[in-house]
Amino acid sequence: MKVAVMGYGTVGSGVVEVIETHNKSIANRTGGEILEVSHILDLRDFPGDEHEDLFTKDFNDILNDEDVMVVAETMGGVNPAYDFTMKLIESGKSVVTSNKELVAQKGLELLEAAERNGVNYLFEASVGGGIPIIRPMAQCLSANNIEGVAGILNGTTNFILTKMIEDGMTFEEALKLAQDNGYAEKDPTADIEGFDACRKVCILASLAFGKHVYPNQVRAEGITKITLEDVSYVSSANGVIKLLGQIKKIDDDSIAAFVSPAIVFNGSQLASVNGVFNAILVRGDAVGDVCFYGPGAGKLPTASAVVADMVDCAVHVDRRKTFGWGEGAEDYVVDEKTVLKMPFYVRAKAGCGEIMARFNDVKFLNRKGQPSDEVAFITDSMTENELTSKLENMDVINIIKVTDY
Amino acid sequence: MKVAVMGYGTVGSGVVEVIETHNKSIANRTGGEILEVSHILDLRDFPGDEHEDLFTKDFNDILNDEDVMVVAETMGGVNPAYDFTMKLIESGKSVVTSNKELVAQKGLELLEAAERNGVNYLFEASVGGGIPIIRPMAQCLSANNIEGVAGILNGTTNFILTKMIEDGMTFEEALKLAQDNGYAEKDPTADIEGFDACRKVCILASLAFGKHVYPNQVRAEGITKITLEDVSYVSSANGVIKLLGQIKKIDDDSIAAFVSPAIVFNGSQLASVNGVFNAILVRGDAVGDVCFYGPGAGKLPTASAVVADMVDCAVHVDRRKTFGWGEGAEDYVVDEKTVLKMPFYVRAKAGCGEIMARFNDVKFLNRKGQPSDEVAFITDSMTENELTSKLENMDVINIIKVTDY
């Protein structure tokens, strides 16, 4: 079967490589059919690349090639990926993607178009890189009511936090190391401010609860305010700070969904996820907690998820997979600060007496070199708004959510 | 769609419960169709059970009901489950199962029969209870060459080992607690001798490498020889002892597959899997290591996996899933003792000098209360046969494999 690849960056070139090196395992799954890359779309030149005769700068070469049944979109960004994907779907081709931004922004429209046109739009690689998560979640869904999802969804920030926790690096030092290692972009904003994780939360929430969630509905807080002092306090309570995407069912018509630093206690499966690895925990009413762990990014891991989707399209060429979700609503995602109760970590310039006068029940933490005018503590369960009002007029240095995962 | 359940024990009664309480999520996946349990086969009586009018002691009531399209077999054991399953498949019904013994012994025949008859035989619940593992592994397989699989596949033994490691209980005390909690049978042989894990290794190996592996081809060593002294030595090296099922590709025509206690170092995803939880790590050439974690047993978790398979059958009623494997061979599973090189933990009545005279490079371990005539150490990488010959005539107390996971 002829296939095409749009975008010859890290993931796209990995897709071509995995297809070429895994003919045998692909044929095992398709019942004998192999995939043959017939076009690679990229505006850049790749002189000397062994696939030179496959390159095109004209999208129409793919759109108009009737033999191409499946296209991998690994371009990233909403434009022109959206336009290209829609045209391919409307011309009866299946599309698979690693482009989380596009799925988070336009997934509903593209899935509906795929349904109308009897083709597939699959996006396993858009969340968790190489970790199979989209299909296992769909599987869990059929005999469970999902109660919540929590994930370490961004390898760059998890690498930075791991270096802070394990090696005592400052945020700035760890970010520099991540950039030197190629884990972080020159402009790291999308990672460290939580925007990348936010897109993945949108996709997981849409799938888990059946209604599209858009990035502007999900509050994203990054890791730039986390200091070694916080890491040290949390460590004294046997916990670690992770950047988590969290989704919780509120009722049949609303969910909470947000990205923020969060404290996970040792013993949780999420606590031992280190470096650039990702993990996604799904809590179902029948199965309990299941957790999926693996490389959240990287050329070949992500490419292997894209190719698995291409194989799935090849197997299901005459039949749609039943993935998808419906229209969302503006008030579908609630303000978690007013609704969700949880414990919080608070660090402030204050004395213990002042804290005990305001809170019924707190657990004080300590760190080496703690100044006498600084306290850190974990509260009992309350909403963030309740917390804020209790802390009124106090010199608060940092607040971090505490998870129940 | 009408369905039937054979065996109304823990899992079977959970299947009926999950079907009845999850109509909505089931309908979401099937496109509107719900499952309706029309027969429950069990030789026992359940006076007062609310499903009284569904019970039958006659298998033919299910076999001859043309409206029943999908049957859950949760009886356990090879007979009469094999006979019943074969007859159902031959009459054009799909069967799903949690029965690892049957899949390990007769999976190939039943899968071939399902293929001949255009129906499905699915077994997600046979490995890892509620953890989605069979389908994600099939997915990984399509764009990866699997290099190895390692799993904590038995919750009972993991509970016992966890109690030994965390609470300093002896094996006997921990076993007693497991029995009191209902995690271990009155006759715990199948769990503690590794036979249960062995069956799951057969299923995973058959799926991962495409040829049926039978239980008599997989050496199973249980946890009865593990003592608190071993736990303590291993802890000094920042490791834990787990009962692992391991499968490794040797070449295109052979694999190693075995169950044994094994040392996992902290930092591994397998090291933090505690209590009755299970985890399965899959190593692929493109994706690297992915790991699936969750409850490995229990009524509702396992039932939710069975029901997910039933839903899949309902969705694919006119189309077979492409799961399966081919015939095995007697020499397909090699003797890992002669082929696989790895480090080993050794505890012996000996002095350090004696050990250093026999081994090039060992790491000595220590424990509180260590007798002066006892040593424990980790060797460099070698085959178990090489190790045995190096230890000739020495008073060896215990040997434990060390993993590279």
Q: Tell me what the mean pLDDT of segment A31-46 comes to.
A: 95
Dump strand ranges (E) for A179-337: 219-220, 239-251, 254-265, 277-284, 288-295
The answer to whether B303 touches B11, Cβ cutoff 8 Å, is: yes
DSSP class of residue A340? -
| pLDDT surpasses 90 at A200 | yes
pLDDT in tens, A246-273: 999 999 899 999 999 999 999 899 999 9
pLDDT in tens, A319-328: 777 678 999 9
pLDDT recorded at residue A140: 78
Report the predicted TM-score, pTM, of the whole model to 2 decimal places.
0.95
Rounded Cα distance between A55 and A39, Å, is: 6
Q: Tell me what the mean pLDDT of segment B135-141 comes to.
A: 84
Interface touch B288/A301, C-beta < 8 Å:
yes
Please state, for a pLDDT cut of 90, what percent of chain B lies above it. 91
pLDDT in tens, A53-96: 999 999 999 999 999 999 999 999 999 999 999 999 999 999 99
State the catalytic residue, choosing from B200, B248, B249, B401: B200
The answer to whether B1 touches B68, Cβ cutoff 8 Å, is: no
Sign of the dihedral defined by the CA atoms of residues B239, B243, B249, B254, in that order? positive
Q: Tell me what the mean pLDDT of segment B323-335 comes to.
A: 92
| Residue B309 CB contacts under 8 Å (≥ 6 apart), including other chains | B72, B96, B122, B123, B124, B125
Burial, A387: exposed, middle or buried (Cβ in 10 Å; 0-12, 13-18, 19+)? buried
Q: Residue B11: pLDDT band by 50, 70, 90 thresholds?
A: very high
Average pLDDT, chain B: 95
Rounded to the nearest angstrom, the minimum Cα separation between B392 and chain A is 40
Size of interface A-B (CB pairs under 8 A): 179
In A, which residues are within 8 Å of B321 by CB distance? Answer: none
Which among A29, A272, A315 has CB closest to B272? A272
Rounded Cα distance between B216 and B196, Å, is: 13
Percentage helix, strand, coil for chain A under 3-state DSSP, each rounded to 5: 40, 25, 35
Residue type at B11 in one-letter notation: V
b/e map of A179-188 (b: 16 or more CB within 10 Å)? Answer: eeeebbeeeb
- A300 reaches B (C-beta below 8 A): yes
Residue B15 tokens, joined: 């299947």
pLDDT recorded at residue B140: 78
Q: Tell me what the mean pLDDT of segment A140-166 comes to.
A: 95
pLDDT recorded at residue B379: 97
Which among B140, B142, B291 has CB closest to A293? B291
Query: Of A269, A138, A219, whose CA–CA distance to B136 is shortest?
Result: A138
Interface touch B25/A143, C-beta < 8 Å:
yes
* Residue position matching structure tokens 């590794």: B194
CA A121-A127-A131 angle, to 5 degrees, is 105
| pLDDT surpasses 80 at A368 | yes
Interface touch A135/B135, C-beta < 8 Å:
yes
Q: Tell me what the mean pLDDT of segment B344-353 comes to.
A: 96
- A287 reaches B (C-beta below 8 A): yes
State the catalytic residue, choosing from A93, A200, A211, A248: A200
ipTM of the modeled complex:
0.93
Interface touch A286/B131, C-beta < 8 Å:
no
Residue B133 tokens, joined: 């593992």
Beta bridge partners of B342: B382
Q: Tell me what the mean pLDDT of segment B79-86 comes to.
A: 98
For B34, nearest residue in chain A (alpha carbons): A142
Rounded Cα distance between B376 and B243, Å, is: 20
Please state, for a pLDDT cut of 70, what percent of chain A lies above it. 100
Which among B139, B210, B290 has CB closest to A293? B290
Which among B274, B295, B322 has CB closest to A288? B295
Q: Residue B138: pLDDT band by 50, 70, 90 thresholds?
A: confident
Q: Looking at chain B from residue 104 to 133, which residues have their Cβ under 8 Å from any Cβ of chain A?
A: 124, 130-132
pLDDT recorded at residue B297: 86
| pLDDT surpasses 80 at B242 | yes
pLDDT in tens, A156-199: 999 999 999 999 999 999 999 999 998 998 999 999 999 999 99
- B23 reaches A (C-beta below 8 A): no
pLDDT recorded at residue B28: 87
Please state, for a pLDDT cut of 90, what percent of chain A lies above it. 91
Question: Which element (helix H / strand E) includes B284?
Answer: strand B277-284
Residue type at B187 in one-letter notation: D
Residue B47 tokens, joined: 């006076």
The answer to whether A171 touches A224, Cβ cutoff 8 Å, is: yes
Interface touch A292/B289, C-beta < 8 Å:
no
Based on the residue annotation, tell me whether B321 is a catalytic residue of this protein: no
pLDDT recorded at residue A3: 98
Distances (CA, A) of A228 to A213, A224, A235, A264: 34, 11, 10, 16
| pLDDT surpasses 70 at B322 | no
Mutate to test the interface with B, among A11, A18, A25 (most CBs of B within 10 A): A25
